[in-house]
Amino acid sequence: MQEAVLGQLYFFLGAVWFGACLLLVYDGIRSFRIVFRHKLWIVSVEDVLYWIFVGFLCFRFLCWYNWGELRGFFFLGLIIGMAVYYMLISPKVLEGLVFLLHNIRRVFGKIFRIIRHPFAKAGINMRWRLKQERKNVKIALMRKGHKRGETHGEKDKQL
Indicate whether 9 belongs to any domain: yes
Indicate whether 132 belongs to any domain: no
Indicate whether 23 belongs to any domain: yes
Provide the domain count of the chain.
Answer: 1
Is 64's pLDDT higher than 60?
A: yes
Indicate whether 129 belongs to any domain: no
Q: How much is the average pLDDT of 4-13? A: 87
Indicate whether 33 belongs to any domain: yes
What is the reported pLDDT for 156?
53
The count of other CB atoms within 10 Å of the CB of residue 82 is: 20
Nearest CA among 18, 95, 117, 9 for reference residue 62? 18
CA of residue 7 relative to chain centroid, distance: 41
The kind and range of the H/E element at 66 are helix 40-66
Residues in the chain: 159
Confidence of residue 154 (pLDDT cuts 50, 70, 90): low
Q: What angle do CA 81, 86, 61 make, to 5 degrees?
A: 30
> Where in the sequence is the domain holding 20, given as residue range(s)?
2-102
What is the reported pLDDT for 16?
96
Are 83 and 22 in contact, with CB atoms under 8 Å apart? no
Confidence of residue 43 (pLDDT cuts 50, 70, 90): very high
Task: Report the distance separating Cα 69 and Cα 63, nearest Å.
Answer: 7
The count of other CB atoms within 10 Å of the CB of residue 153 is: 7
Indicate whether 118 belongs to any domain: no
Q: Is the pTM of this model over 0.85?
A: no
Task: Report the distance separating Cα 97 and Cα 29, nearest Å.
Answer: 10
Indicate whether 85 belongs to any domain: yes
Indicate whether 67 belongs to any domain: yes
Q: Which residues contact 43 (CB under 8 A, 6 or more apart)?
A: 33
* Higher-scoring residue by pLDDT: 40, 144: 40
